[in-house]
Amino acid sequence: MSKFARFLNFEDNKGPIVSVVFALIFVSIVVVGYYFLILDAPPEGFSSMYILDEQKKTESYPEFLIINENNTFNLWIGVENHMGKKQSYEIQQKLTKDPILTFPINEGPVNNFAKTLDDQETWETLVTTTISDPGNYSLVFELYLKENGETVGDNTEPDNYVLLNIEVDFKSQD
């Protein structure tokens, strides 16, 4: 018998037990390595966008507007950069009466806003909007990632969007 076999005390038919122990140690090393290399990897970057009412709250969004009374309103639009790097953004504000089936919506922008943010930076801007005609509207803010003034990636779909449904009417005559 070899010196190694005697060292491991294999002469008493303990070979299968030692093999199982070595297999368990190997599997444990693989599982721990997988956790640290794959599961504990840094998360993929993302951007978020939100809208707030004029008081920077989520309590009183314009839903029902009366022409010549409250059909001009303000909203705060916010963008947060969690991409892990400096990122350029463009927000396109769009207003449509058409049903929205896909994004980007097939409507020209009413306003464009652009800003470059450092990682973990937040940008908020106050947007004033007036709707002068009665009807049911969708106010949409589409967020695009930009590099050198061009949209990132092969498609032209927004990275994120926020939609607000608004009904506009004339004041009822009592």
Among residues 26, 44, 28, 47, the alpha carbon closest in space to that of 36 is found at 28
How many domains are contained in the chain? Answer: 2
- Ramachandran bin of 4, using left for φ above 0, alpha for ψ from -120 to 50, beta for the remaining angles: alpha
pLDDT at 16: 72
Alpha helices in the chain (DSSP H): 3-7, 15-34
What CATH number has the domain bearing residue 127? 2.60.40.2550
CB within 8 Å of 114: residues ≥ 6 apart: 88, 89, 90, 91, 146
Shared domain for 120 and 165, answered yes or no, is yes
Q: Give the 3-state secondary structure of residue 39.
A: helix
Q: Are residues 57 and 88 in the same domain?
A: yes
pLDDT of the residue at 15: 64
Question: Do 9 and 77 share a domain, yes or no?
Answer: no
Quick: pLDDT tens for 47-65.
Answer: 999 999 999 999 999 999 9
Burial of 61 from C-beta contacts in 10 A (0-12 / 13-18 / 19+): middle
Residue 174 lies in a domain: no
Do the strands 64-66 and 160-169 form a parallel or antiparallel pair, or are they unpaired? parallel
pLDDT for the residue 121: 97
85 and 153 fall within a common domain: yes
Residue ranges of the chain whose pLDDT lies below 50? none
Whether 27 maps to a domain, the answer reads: yes
Task: Give the pair of three-digit tokens for residue 160.
Answer: 């994120």
Asked if residue 124 and residue 87 are part of one domain, the reply reads yes
Q: Which domain holds residue 121?
A: 46-169
The pLDDT of residue 29 is: 87
Together in a domain, 50 and 35: no
Q: Decide if 78 contacts 52 (C-beta within 8 A).
A: yes
